Structure 1
Amino acid sequence: MESEEQESLLPRRRPAPPDRFNAVFIVFYFLGIGSLLPWNFFITANKYFQYKLRNITLPWDDGYFKTDLQFNFESSITIASTVPNVLFNFITAILASRIPLKGRMVFSNVTVVVVFVITLALVKIDTDHWQAVFYSITLLSVVVLSAASSVYMASMFGLAGMFPIKYMQAIMSGQAVGGVFAALANILSISLSGSDERDSAFVFFTIATVTSLVSLVGYLTLYTNDFSKYYIYYQEEIEVSVPEETDDDAVVVRKENTVQNIPSDTRSPYRIVCKKIWLDSLGAGFVFFVSLTCFPALASAIVSTLDVSSVWKDQYFSAVVCFLLFNMGDWCGRATAGAIRWPNEHHRKKILIICAIRIVFIPLIMFCNILPRKNTLVIFDNDFCPLVFILTLGLTNGYFSTLCMMYGPKRVENRYAEYAGTFMSVSLTMGLAAGSLLGFLLIRIV
C-alpha cells in the first residue's frame, strides 16, 4: 500500500529520445564483448603459458614430462580467478551506492588494460631463468584481472538494468560473441601450431587490450548521447516528490540546482530488490552453476572415440566440439531470447523449474568418453552424443540466463534498477564459482 502511494507521487516522465542508428545498443553489445573477451583470450593462451613454464633443458614439445609449475598452473588459475571474482562482486554490491557508477566502470576498465599491457611486455621478455617469478606475476595478474572484471561486470549489469530490456540482452549477446571469438582464435592457433607460441600470445593479448580500450571509449560515449543520458541521469534521481513542507521523514535532494523533498526509505535497497527478484536471481545462478560444472572442466576432457589417430581426434575435437559448439550455442540462445521470450516474465516459477531441470546435463556429459577415468564407465561411447549435449547445454545456457537477466531488473522501481542489475550479477557469479569448483572436483572422481 505504501509503495502504491509513493508511485502515485511520481512526477510524469517525459518521453525518451530515440536511440539513433541503434548507437547505444551497439555500445552495450561492445560492453558485453569487452567484459569477457579479455579473460577468454587469457585462458586461450594456455599453450603459451605452458611454453613459458617448460623444462628448458628439453626440446619444446607437447609430449614431454610436465614441470611442477606447468602441472599446477591450471588449478592455480582457477583459484586465483574464482575467489576474487566472488569477493569483489559482493564488495561492488555493498559499495554500489557509495562509489559512482562511472568511477567504477572507468577504474575497472583501465585496470584491465594495465594488466594486459604488463602481460604483453612479459611475452617479449625472456623469463626462462626466473620462471617461478613469472609464475607468481601471472597469478597476481589473474587476481587483479579477475577483481577488476568482477567490478566491471557487476557495474555493467547495474547500468543495463537502468535501460529498456533489450539492452540487457545486448550485453548478454556481446558476452557470447567474446566466447565465440576466443574459440575461433583457439582453432586458428592450432592450425598455426608451427609458429612461435609467443607470437600467437602477443596477438591474443593485443586484441584483448584493444577490445578493452574500445569498451572504455564506448562507455564514455554514453555520457554524450541524449538517449543514454536520459536513462542514466533519470535513474540517478530519486523520483518521489511531496509538498514543500518537510518533516522528519523527508530527505532533501539537490540536483542541478533544484530541490526535491523526498520521503526517506530506511530499508536497505537490496532487501527491497531481493524480495522482488530472488526467483530470477536464483534461476540465473542455477543456469551458470550447471553450465560451469560441465564446461569447460568435464566437456574439454571428452576424447573422440575414433579408433585411429587423426588430426580431428588429436587436435581439433576438443577445440570444436567443446569450445566452439558451446559458445556458438550460447550466442544463439542469447540472441534468440531477444526475439522469443518463453516463458514470459509472469511465469517466474516455470523458468526456475526449467533452469533446475538442466542439472541433467551433468550426468549426461560425465558419462561421455572422458579420459582418463577411474571410477565410472562410459555410456555414450560415440562422438555424436557429446556434440548434441554440449550444443544444447550452450543453447539453454544462453537463452535462460538472458531471460532471467532481462526480467529481474524490470520487476523493481526505476530507482532500484541499478541495484537489481548488481544483485543479479552477484547471483550469476555465485553460480559460476560454485559450478567451477564442482566441475574441478568431478573431473578428478569420474
Structure 2
Amino acid sequence: MDTSEDPLLPQVHGPIPRDRFHMVYLIFYLLGLGSLAPWNFFITASEYFKYKLRNTTQLDDEYLDPNFETELQAMFESYLVVANTVPNLAFNFITALIIQRVCLKTRMIFSLVLIILMFMVTVSLVEMDTDTWQTTFFSITLVTAVLISSGGSILGASLFGLASLFPSQYVQATMTGQAMGGIFAAVANLVTLAIGSHVIDSGLVFFMFAVFMAVLTLVGYGCLYCLSYSKYHILEIGNTISVDVNSHGDDIGFVVPDHGCSYYSHIFRKIWKEGISVCLVFLVTLSCFPAIASSIVSVVKIPTPWSEKYFSALVCFLLFNCGDWSGRSVAGSIHWPRYGQSSLLLMFSVLRVVFIPLLMFCNVQPRTSHIWFNSDIYPVVFILLLGLTNGYFGTLAMMYGPRRVSADKAESTGAMMSSFLTTGLVSGSLIAILLMKSL
C-alpha cells in the first residue's frame, strides 16, 4: 500500500512518520465499518419490528401475513425512512457548517456516545412484552431512529472530514469499511434465515452487535491519538482541523475562525464536479436499491428454498453489498478516470441512470407492466454491476474531492463531500417511492 503524501499536504515539523504495519489504514477501515454497521443492523431487523407491532389476536407465526397487517406495521417502514433521511440530511449540512467551530473530538465522541445510548435503549426493549403498549413502542422506536440517524450523520461527516486530512487512500479505506458493514448485516440476515432462529433472538443479536461495533469504533478513534502517523496528520499539519494545539498535543475545545460564505463557495467551485458525481452515483443506487431490487422475485414457478427464502437475501442484499465492497476496494489501486478527469467521472455517474430501467423491467412484483428480463440471471448481473459501479465511482469521487483544495480546507471539504453523498441518498430514496408506485 502506498502511503506517500498527497502533493497539497505541507511538509512540516521534520520527516513524516510512517504508517507502521498499516495500522492507521486499518483503523480507518474499522471507523468506516462502525459508522454504518449500527444503522445497517437496525434496518436489517425489520421483521423484528413487524413482530413487535403484529396483530396480537392472531397466531405469532402470522405476523408477516398481509391479510393480518396492522396499521402500525403498514406505517413503520415509511416512517422509518423519514426518521432516517430527514435528520441525516439536516445534520450532514449542519456538521459541514460547524466543522470549523466544534472540535473533532467533541463531534466524534458525542455522536458515538449518542448511538451507543440509543442502541442500549433498543436492546432493553427487545425482551420486554410490548404487546399492550405497541403505540408507545412505535413512538420510542422512531425517536431512537431519529437520534441514531442524527448521531450517524454527525459521525459520518466528521469521519470523512478526518480522513481528508490524510492521503486519499484513507478516504478509500473509510468507504470500503462502510461497505463491509452492509456485508455483515446481509450475512447475519442469511444466517438467521438458515438456522430459523426466533425473530426476537435475531433482533437481540443484531442490536447487541450494533452496540459492540459502536464501542469498537470509539476505541478505534481513540487509538488514532496514540499512533505517531495519525497524530502528525491530525495535530501537526498546519491548522487543518482549525483547533488550537497545546504543548501536550491535545486539541482545545472550541474555535471560531472567520469562515463565511466565501470560504464555502471557494471550496464548492473547486469540487463541484466530484460532489455532483458522488451525489448522482448514490441517487441512482438508492433509486434502485433496496426498494426495487428487493421486490424482484425469482422466475422459478416451483416453490423452492431458493425462490421463496433465499433469493432476495442473496441476490439483492448480499450480492449488492459484495459488489459495492469490491468496487470500493478496487478504487484503492485502480484510478480511472484519473485525478483531474472530473468531467469524465461526472459522465460515468450520469450514465449509471441506465440501471433504473434495467432493474424495473426485471421480475419486480407486484406489477402491471411487461417484464423484459424474464430470467434470474438478469437481476444477478444488474445488481452486481450496480454495486460494483456504486462502490468504484463513488469512492473515486470521495477520494478526489479533498485533493482539489489546500490542506487547511481539507476537513471542511471532506464534510462537504459527505453532504453531497447524503443528498444523493435522500433524493434516491424519494425517487424510489415514485418508481415503485409507477409499476
Residues 240, 410 of structure 2: 8 Å contact kept: no
What's the counterpart of residue 404 of structure 2? 411
Cα deviation, residue 12, structure 1: 5.0
- Say if 2:344 is the partner of 1:314: no
What residue in structure 2 maps to residue 216 of structure 1?
218
What is the CA-CA distance between 1:285 and the residue it aligns to? 0.5
Residue pair 1:269, 1:419 contacting (<8 A) in 2 also = no
Aligned pairs for 1:62-73 (under 5 A) are 62-63=64-65, 64-73=67-76
Residue identity over aligned pairs, in percent, reads: 49
Change (3 A) 1:345 1:11: closer
- The one of 158, 161, 181 aligned to 2:184: 181
Whether 1:394 and 2:387 are equivalent positions in the alignment is yes
Contact 2:172-2:328 at 8 Å conserved across structures: yes
2:289 aligned with 1:289 = no
In structure 2, the residue matched to 1:250 is none
Q: Distance in 1 between matches of 2:16 and 2:120?
A: 40
Taking a change above 3 Å as real, the CA distance of residues 76 and 254 of structure 1, as seen in their structure-2 partners, is closer
Q: Does 1:331 align with 2:334?
A: no
Secondary structure in 1 matching 2:408: helix
Change (3 A) 1:266 1:437: closer
Q: CA deviation at 1:428?
A: 0.2
State the superposition RMSD in angstroms.
2.0
Q: How many residues align?
A: 420
Cα distance change on mapping 1:267 and 1:196 into 2, 3 Å: closer
Counterpart of 2:81 in structure 1 is: 78
2:25 aligns to what?
25
TM-score norm. by structure 1 comes to 0.91
Alignment of 1:348-363 (within 5 A): 348-363=342-357
Hey, what's the Cα distance between the residues in 2 that align with 1:308 and 1:20? 56
Q: Deviations over 1:207-259 (max 9, x none)?
A: 110000000010011112111010001246279xxxxxxxxxxxxx97547xx
Equivalent residue number for residue 270 of structure 2: 276
The code of the aligned residue for 2:314 comes to V
Structure 1 residues 442 and 256, CA, compared in 2 at 3 Å: closer, same or farther? Answer: same
Cα displacement string for residues 2-28 of structure 1 (whole angstroms, at most 9, x for unaligned residues): xxxxx99x7855331011111111110
Partners of 1:254 and 1:80 lie apart in 2 by 36
Deviations 1:277-315 (A, max 9, x none): 111011001000000000000000001000111111111
Question: 1:44 aligns to what?
Answer: 44
Structure 2 letter corresponding to 1:205? F
Write the distance in 1 (CA, Å) between the matches of 2:126 and 2:77: 19
Q: Which residue is equivalent to 1:438?
A: 431
For 1:349 and 1:95, locate their aligned partners in 2 and report how far apart those are by CA, in whole Å. 30
| Higher CA-based Rg | 1
Deviation at 1:441, TM superposition (A): 1.7
Give the Cα separation in 1 of the matches to 2:110 and 2:409. Answer: 23
Structure 1 gaps, min length 5: 1-6, 240-252, 258-262
Q: Would you say the 8 A contact 2:224–2:231 is kept in 1?
A: yes
In 2, Cα distance between the equivalents of 1:274 and 1:93? Answer: 12
The aligned residue for residue 198 of structure 2 is 196
Q: Take 2:113 and 2:317, find their aligned partners in 1: how far apart are those partners?
A: 28
**Closer, same or farther: CA 65–18 of 1 in aligned 2, 3 Å:** same
Counterpart residue identity of residue 363, structure 1: P
- Secondary structure at the residue paired with 1:268? helix
Is the Cα contact below 8 Å between 2:278 and 2:421 reproduced in 1? yes
Once the two structures are TM-superposed, the CA of residue 444 in structure 1 deviates from its matched residue by 1.6
- Secondary structure of the residue aligned to 1:130 is helix
**Offset of residue 381 of structure 1:** 1.0
Structure 1 residue 132: Cα displacement: 0.4
The match for 2:297 is 303
